[in-house]
Amino acid sequence: MPFRLLVPFGLLCVLLPPHHGAPGPDGTAPDPAHYRERVKAMFYHAYDSYLENAFPYDELRPLTCDGHDTWGSFSLTLIDALDTLLILGNVSEFQRVVEVLQDNVDFDIDVNASVFETNIRGEDCLLRPLEESKIRGMQFSLQNTKGVVGGLLSAHLLSKKAGVEVEAGWPCSGPLLRMAEEAARKLLPAFQTPTGMPYGTVNLLHGVNPGETPVTCTAGIGTFIVEFATLSSLTGDPVFEEVARVALMRLWESRSDIGLVGNHIDVLTGKWVAQDAGIGAGVDSYFEYLVKGAILLQDKKLMAMFLEYNKAIRNYTRFDDWYLWVQMYKGTVSMPVFQSLEAYWPGLQSLIGDIDNAMRTFLNYYTVWKQFGGLPEFYNIPQGYTVEKREGYPLRPELIESAMYLYRATGDPTLLELGRDAVESIEKISKVECGFATIKDLRDHKLDNRMESFFLAETVKYLYLLFDPTNFIHNNGSTFDAVITPYGECILGAGGYIFNTEAHPIDPAALHCCRRLKEEQWEVEDLMREFYSLKRNRSRFQKKTMSSGPWEPPAGPETPSSPENHDQAREKSAKQKIPLLSCPSQPFTSKLALLGQVFLDSS
């Protein structure tokens, strides 16, 4: 007899003001235009508050109207907000911020930075309460430099659309791409371990500290392939994609006999330290990147890995469309809780076409939102209430993200209702004079003095895209840009954008614009790299670039490099001639652009 969880629903829901644009008696959905403008106003209230009170610090402290550094002193909120500015249509501010970042961001600093977060600016490797006492004092921070890489790559690929005057050879060169590459190279020493799985933290100036803990969360190891494969494709240097793939494979090889992975692992020995298996904190974006990496790279092996995990997750962790935490070797329940970070899962299910299961799980999570006016970090499913010391809501985006994906796939007005409720809740509970404050406790709506950068990068962005069906991000392929590069013509901006785990969109077509051997790189691009690495005077650098004259595409059929001369990883990619993920009714790319997901059985 299957184990069933009974959740009491007679608990007090948050009281919200009357909804303008809410469903009427005829069941009509919230007015998208109304809520689109509300979301835009939310963004600028938070963004302007950051600029006025916190820049150049990483994040805003909205209760005291000042700033503080949290992830390495990169002006992280500005980087995270950059592509959101373009999605909201603010071209002029995008252009201004690009110049500010080029002039002010420096990665040659003596600071310990999270490898995971610096790449994606993703989620914390949160520990379950019982494990905190076992691993207390360890740093889990290789995570934050990764969002810097993702944000810079996204902004680089969107620069032309934003009216930035790009240099000759774009998207295969450009100042933001060089900044992303510089940041990523600072992370590479972390991957120099016996297993190939990276340390959690690296010093940007000195590399890995001698006393650095070897214990890293699963997500901190397996969340690099989207950014690093993009970087390798644009720069021609395969090292980034190679280290990301090795880390993914080591995790795959470390799964238990029943097909599950734990929460934290020792990257020197490959032994699991925290053996809780689930889909939430510490694991989440590993599964996300297997799916998104498969789509981005048309890599059927990555998709096959995820589908195997998905079977094990269904068999051992799923109960009544909730997902629990279990012991990775035995499958016995260790934590019957829902974590707010798990709310990305319905969106991920939609990307593989599993709409029915996605909607059922989404509706479970939505009941929790309506109970509190937000998602508590931990929610005890049998008791139907928050977990002690995990009652807060730091304005996370995951449930809104899933609503956006599912609405693109189904058009179900229930998903717009979640967007409406999110806008109303956040404005009522969290809005203060200097931005939006983290909700410290959803039971009494006490606030905390922090506005995390993902609020502008993800929460507001997904809300806006939920209510803006004609946004360029949702392009169905009807419009595009043809760009001449040193390696031929390529098509950009046709849709099918892949969001990294910090909601920075990557144009998958860009990965095919710059394929070549490292030694065949365009001469002017090599000069630019040299000037940049030596930190020459910027005006002299620009003068040299302009004096090289306009580029003309080379004659002859030999422009694309031969697959035989690529490194092994590049050779495998070059040999893929047939789309690996497809649906019966149309080609894969058209289906992805049209429905916002990988495939469906029907059109």
Q: Cα–Cα distance between 183 and 256 in angstroms, integer?
A: 34
Distance CA 21, CA 24 (A): 8
359, two tokens: 């909607």
Among all residues, which ones are annotated catalytic?
117, 284, 377, 398
CB 161 within 8 A of CB 493: yes
Give backbone dihedrals phi and psi of 433, rounded to 5 degrees, phi first: -60, -40
Max CA separation in the chain (angstroms): 76
Q: Are 247 and 261 contacting, i.e. CB atoms less than 8 angstroms apart?
A: no
Kindly provide the b/e burial profile for residues 200-238, where b requires at least 16 CB atoms within 10 angstroms of the residue's own CB: bbbbbeebbeeebbbbbbbbbbbbbbbbbbbbbbbbbbb
Tell how strand 201-203 and strand 112-114 pair up: antiparallel
For residues 190 and 146, the answer to whether their CB atoms sit within 8 Å is: no
Cβ contacts of 160-164, under 8 Å, gap ≥ 24:
160/481, 160/483, 160/492, 161/86, 161/472, 161/481, 161/493, 162/86, 162/91, 162/94, 162/95, 162/98, 163/91, 163/95, 164/94, 164/95, 164/98
Q: What are the two backbone dihedrals, phi and then psi, of residue 60, each rounded to the nearest 5 degrees? A: -85, 140
Tokens of 285: 């974006």
Instruction: Enter the tokens of residue 571.
Output: 């050779």
Q: DSSP character for 109?
A: S
Q: How far is CA 596 from CA 321, 380, 593, in A?
A: 23, 32, 6
- Tokens read off for 114: 């999270």
**Residues for the chain: how many in total?**
603
Q: Which of 71, 83, 85 is nearest to 122 (CA)?
A: 71
The CA distance from 282 to 138, in Å, is: 14
Q: What residue spans of 18-90 are helical by DSSP H?
A: 32-53, 76-87
Report strand pairing: 215-217 vs 201-203.
Answer: unpaired
Can you tell me the distance from the alpha carbon of 505 to that of 528, in angstroms, rounded to the nearest whole number? Answer: 26
Q: Which residue has the tokens 């390696």?
A: 487
Strand order in the sheet with 276-277: 276-277, 325-327, 333-335
- Dihedral (C-alpha) 124, 126, 132, 134: value to the nearest 10 degrees? -80
- Encode burial over 142-178: b for 16+ CB neighbours within 10 A, e otherwise: bbbbbbbbbbbbbbbbbbbebebebbbbbbbbbbbbb
Is 182:109 a contact under the CB 8 Å cutoff?
A: no
Half-sphere exposure of 435 (CA within 13 A, CB side): 34
Rounded to 5 degrees, φ, ψ at 491 are: -105, 130
